Amino acid sequence: MSERIPVILNPAARSTQAAAREQAILALSPAPELILTTAPGEATEIAARLAQEGHPLVVAAGGDGTMNEVLQGLCRVNAQRLNGQPRTALGVLPVGTMNVFALELGLPSSDIAACWQRLTSGSRREIDLWMANDYYFVQLAGVGLDAEIIQETPWERKKRLGPLSYVVSALQVLARTPPVLKVQIEGRPDLFGSVVLIGAGKHYGGPVKVFPRADNQDGLLDLLIFHQLGGWEFAQMIHAVLESGYEKAADIDYLQAREFTVLAEPTAPYELDGELVQDRTPVHFRLSDLRLSVAA
């Protein structure tokens, strides 16, 4: 087995810079073992193979979508390990369109050489690992609006506009009638809304801390439930984030839970770590029996 740390790169990420990005990764020291993906979902298969081979660390190079693909493969293999057996850790080189998880970890996203030094230092952090039905996630999730935005954002638009591409898609989605979402949490009345945003960490979509109480080591998910889908609700969210917190937001519920289910009428898509899942509601969120070791 190679002693070099494997790095799984999605060459489509920022494709206009793909060649330069690949060369920059190859120039890192210590030299990585660079593995390029050729199709959607392949990063999951590669990560699973590397974990089965016993690599202690596998690094995802790309955005949050690539990270989540790698996460699926690592966790499926790690879940088969017996207690006490070594499990493969996850590392992230943030070179994609959106790099929210790297931001949460405090990685220097603008300097991949400095980031690589952090990843290869041997430092590890144990964080919560979450499941939505049979899929894993570590940073964020959303049911309804944001999943529809991701669904409506083609790669060509992301390549041309970067993060602004999601704003364009949001305007299209907001023109439609949203689904009615129901959140079921054991021991409390059902909650209803048009949008459900979920945070395992403080950041959601960028540097703004949308979930101020979130902690990726506390065994809780933070939920934002918008009663309706309109500018007033988003204005309350922005005001809460920038100034007062959510206590005075009359049209938004902000709470924490360890386990819950989201249903929708009509059925709605959901996303995990910014990656659209090939599944729809109902979706059951729960804490995994595993924890995740990350290089940070």
- What is residue 232's predicted lDDT score, i.e. its pLDDT? 63
Compute the C-alpha angle 127/190/225, nearest 5°.
55
Q: Could you tell me if 130 and 200 are in contact, meaning their C-beta atoms sit under 8 angstroms apart?
A: yes
CA separation, residue 36 to residues 17, 44, 68 (Å) = 15, 12, 16
Domain ranges in the chain?
6-122, 140-287
Instruction: For the chain, give the mean pLDDT.
Output: 90
Q: How far is residue 245's CA from residue 287's CA, in Å, rounded to a whole number? A: 26
Q: How far is residue 190's CA from residue 46's CA, in Å, rounded to a whole number? A: 41
Environment class of residue 209 by beta-carbon count within 10 Å: exposed (0-12), middle (13-18) or buried (19+)? Answer: middle
Q: How far is residue 110's CA from residue 223's CA, in Å, rounded to a whole number? A: 30
Give the pTM: 0.91
Instruction: Report which secondary-structure segment, H or E, holds 279.
Output: strand 275-280
CATH number for domain 140-287, candidates 3.30.420.40, 3.10.580.10, 2.60.200.40, 3.40.50.1950: 2.60.200.40
Q: What's the pLDDT tens digit per position in 185-220?
A: 999 999 999 999 999 999 998 888 999 999 999 999
Q: Could you tell me if 8 and 38 are in contact, meaning their C-beta atoms sit under 8 angstroms apart?
A: no
CATH number for domain 6-122, candidates 3.30.1700.10, 1.20.1250.20, 3.40.50.10330, 3.40.50.150: 3.40.50.10330
Q: What's the pLDDT tens digit per position in 25-54?
A: 999 999 999 999 999 899 999 999 999 999
Q: What's the pLDDT tens digit per position in 245-256?
A: 898 888 999 999
